[in-house]
Structure 1
């Protein structure tokens, strides 16, 4: 923000704060603030990232991808790759999602980001009808049932869903149970899925 004049920087900062505060309760209004910030500071990476993330939350896939690409280009922040890949999926381009997940930029990611990108890649494989490849993608992650935390929960849940898509409901039930055990903050509906599959 230091590259902006003081008055403009203050206005942009106010828009970003408002966007953050409204992100959960009113994502559409939050996106309006992010767009207003972008209009005043389009060369600032954090502004483009905020606009991209909020466009993503509002299912504005093309806008989100454009903003996230810009933020990634400006900052080199590879943590944005999972969102970018998921936008490609939502836009009906699973092959491009896989390219992002397999590209050089996806190397040496933080474990949580790498797991999220693996989940998106597996989803893209499913979009293409490549069920076994989707399973293999998830198995390449750390599928240790003893693990806990958000990263493990999401990976276990995605693996269970993919097993279900493969027709292996018994093994899917096992992994939904692992997801529920790891889900200390109740981030998923794993318990409900267990009830559905057990009935």
Structure 2
């Protein structure tokens, strides 16, 4: 085991203790809680460093020992999602959702799991909840992209376009999530044969960030249509 896997970082420990320390202690007792909090912080560190397999290895036993704690299932679900294990990821993210029903933070990721599993009715349900809650615009943007992509997967490009048309065309400040939304919308226009609108949105992206994704190639290709 690498040295940085043996002891959790101070910020991770502080976050775990502040967020779920009392809840864990209430389930397993103070002595076991100290051990689990340390392991949970290790899993959090591994996840944040992109070591998703390590995070999974550490967190899954914790989910069995201390079920029903939001942060535990969240880390498990997000790690499994990064590993492409959609069904298990959805299971843990649903448990996190049940433990903290007011939160919509992970709705886009959960919806993307259901999209991969072709459970499109669940994607629609989560998108509606996310829209109604209206949390951070970046989270809504990710949810919108997943919802539209699910419609496109089903072959309903026009409905996918309608969903993406809800994005802001001229925000006061263009952020990463705006570019991502515009790219999806432009791609959908291109797939539907609407070259004029596709070119307009691809140009808008290039104007704001000429190095975004494969925007140069897309504009070059669409120019030859």
Coarse TM-score class (shorter-chain normalised): 0.7 to 0.9
- Is contact 1:163-1:169 (8 Å) kept? yes
Q: Which of residues 58, 68, 71 is equivalent to 1:43?
A: 68
CA shift for structure 1 position 158: 1.3
Query: Corresponding residue for 2:81?
Result: 56
Match of 2:16 in 1: none
Quick one: distance in 1 between partners of 2:36 and 2:212?
A: 32
Q: Which residue does 2:22 correspond to in 1?
A: 2
Alignment match, 1:26: 51
The alignment's TM-score, normalised by the length of structure 2, stands at 0.76
Q: Which residue of 1 aligns with 2:151?
A: 125
What is the aligned length? 197
CA-based RMSD of the aligned residues comes to 2.4
Structure 2 residue 99 is matched with structure 1 residue 74 = yes
- The Cα of 1:93 is off from its aligned counterpart by 1.8
Q: Displaced runs of 4+ in structure 1, greater than 6 A? A: none
What residue ranges of structure 1 are gaps of 5+ in the alignment? none
Shift in CA distance, 16/125, structure 1 to aligned 2, threshold 3 Å: same
Partner of 2:120: 94
Match of 2:219 among 182, 194, 197: 194
Q: Is this contact kept in 1: 2:55–2:76, CA < 8 A?
A: no
121, 140, 164: which one pairs with 1:114? 140
Shift of 1:181: 4.1
Q: Which residue of 176, 189, 197 maps to 1:150?
A: 176
2:38 corresponds in structure 1 to 14
Distance 1:172-1:34 versus aligned 2 partners, 3 A rule = farther
> Measured at CA, do residues 16 and 146 of structure 1 come closer, stay the same or move farther in structure 2, by a change above 3 Å?
same
TM-score (norm: length of structure 1): 0.85
Paired residue secondary structure (1:176): helix
